[in-house]
Amino acid sequence: MKNLNLSEDQAVYEAALAFIDAYFNDTTDAPARSVAPDETIAYFANQTFSKEGRSVDAVVQELLTDVYPHILKQDHTRAFGFIPGPASKLSWLGDVMTQAFNVHASNWINSSSASTIEENVIQWLAQQIGFTGKAGGVFVSGGSMANLTGVIAGRDKILSEDNRHLGVVYLSDQTHHSVEKALYIIGYTRKQLRFVPTNNAFQMDVHQLQTMIEQDLSNGLVPTTIIASAGTTNTGTVDPLHGIADIAASYGIWLHVDGAYGASFLLSTTQRHHLAGIERADSVSWDAHKLLFQTYSCAMIIVKDKQDLLNSFSATPEYLQDIDGGSVDFSSLGIELTRPARALKLWLTLQVLGTDEFSRRVDYGQTLAELGELTLSTMENWEIVSHAHFAIINFRYNHPNYSKEENDALNASIAKSIVDSGFAGVFTTELKSKTVVRMCSTNPATSDHDIISTLNRLNTYAQEYVAAHSA
């Protein structure tokens, strides 16, 4: 039989070179967000695949003109929505190269150096947490997968197959929804979840946590896992980790810390102290595609005792103890078998920038948030609803003559106006049942002017809103 004549490589090479040249020399001032026009959406929605195919150039051009420009630009200097993704070009390089080799990162047999690097990076991150000795972990696609992996390990450690239906998990009303989703995925029912209220600083109320645990114990239930947030997505606040860890220790409950966003502040010199106590967790989620400046998708689940992951995820835990000179079979530490080598791009970024520069970049986000807070304090009618915590501020325009609902509508409207204008990605969230404007400023390329001009625009939109509604 004759080989198929596979002729695409040369065309891909040329397209790749042209792309890199155009991408790195692009000087257009892209909006923070763009939505594709209706015709474009209709075109893609109705598109089919031809029998004879098309040229690489034509298809690449379609992506460049009609797909990539119409995004919420996560690395825009005024992208303040959700948790932005200001990925470093170094991560991009590591990603592109790793994908070029299509590295299969399930185990040492497939990728000896890459597996060793993954283990080495995990151990370094574990040290940042303060885990020692037996710690381990695995790279996963994101915080959602990290949380899922963590709550499985917690369930399996505390519950037996016979009493799974009695397990109870404690979260706060600020816990990221991915945790609740993970708990339902693995079979918990709504009746097995306890939403612990938060205090005025949006932190889990430790006293109420303990009351709920006592109540559940007296009802014959089995307190299984506490989810502490180390940097909530809404406000960046950290739950009282020592207080929660004391309770977890005294009742023998698994402590999972969701640090998907906030764990990166372990690398900060000015913010690290807020994470004191994280070393007492059993498992920690940590997103690298948020504040470690990685491209999607890149996150880690790290546990205090690697054996706990092996117990949950290894088909044959006893045989999978470090084979081949201390190497690890990552498919025995988590859910995935075939995986991209997500650790390599983070390793490359850390190797090139060095840890001091990482610290500076992480710290910088908080400095920007503090500038935002200061700027708002000089402007009339603006209330700081949540102070600058881990580079996040929440604030609200309160017109003195408006009802709460009218001010809710005003704040929703001004955020929508600034997003629709393409100037900045700024969205609202709800805190203590009020609509508030939220800014997360994690991009090292964001300037003071980006912060101040965004706030000035919001202020102008607020005044225009009031003028339009007083007619």
Residue numbers at the binding site for ligand PLP (CB under 6 A): 83, 142-144, 147, 176, 178, 229, 233, 258, 260-261, 287, 299
Residue 87: phi, psi to the nearest 5? -65, 140
- Nearest distance from C-beta of residue 365 to ligand PLP, angstroms: 14
- Nearest distance from C-beta of residue 127 to ligand PLP, angstroms: 22
Helix (H) or strand (E) holding 434: strand 434-440
DSSP, collapsed to helix, strand or coil, labels residue 280 as helix
Cβ proximity to ligand PLP: between 413 and 441 the closer is 441
- Nearest distance from C-beta of residue 153 to ligand PLP, angstroms: 16
Cβ proximity to ligand PLP: between 410 and 436 the closer is 436
Cβ proximity to ligand PLP: between 192 and 233 the closer is 233
* DSSP annotation string for 122-164: HHHHHHHHT--SS-EEEEESSHHHHHHHHHHHHHHHH--TTTG
Cβ proximity to ligand PLP: between 386 and 459 the closer is 386
- Nearest distance from C-beta of residue 142 to ligand PLP, angstroms: 3
Q: Do the bridges between strand 392-397 and strand 427-431 make them parallel or antiparallel, or are there none, so unpaired? A: unpaired
Residue, CB closest to ligand PLP: 143
- Nearest distance from C-beta of residue 427 to ligand PLP, angstroms: 14
Per DSSP, 79 falls in state B
Task: Give the dihedral of Cα atoms 275, 278, 283, 289; nearest 10 deg.
Answer: 20
Task: Name the burial class of residue 167, with classes exposed (0-12), middle (13-18) and buried (19+) by CB atoms within 10 angstroms of its CB.
Answer: buried
- Nearest distance from C-beta of residue 137 to ligand PLP, angstroms: 15
User: Nearest-5° angle of CA 270, CA 271, CA 276?
Assistant: 125
Give 67's contacts (C-beta < 8 A, 6+ positions apart). 36, 44
Which of 118, 91, 150 lies closest to 352 in space, CA to CA? 91
Per DSSP, 4 falls in state P
- Nearest distance from C-beta of residue 131 to ligand PLP, angstroms: 19
Give 353's contacts (C-beta < 8 A, 6+ positions apart). 88, 90, 361
Report the distance separating Cα 136 and Cα 119, nearest Å: 8
Cβ proximity to ligand PLP: between 144 and 295 the closer is 144
Cβ proximity to ligand PLP: between 260 and 341 the closer is 260
Which of 354, 239, 233, 334 lies closest to 290 in space, CA to CA? 233
Cβ proximity to ligand PLP: between 178 and 332 the closer is 178
Cβ proximity to ligand PLP: between 332 and 442 the closer is 442
Cβ proximity to ligand PLP: between 299 and 424 the closer is 299
- Nearest distance from C-beta of residue 306 to ligand PLP, angstroms: 22
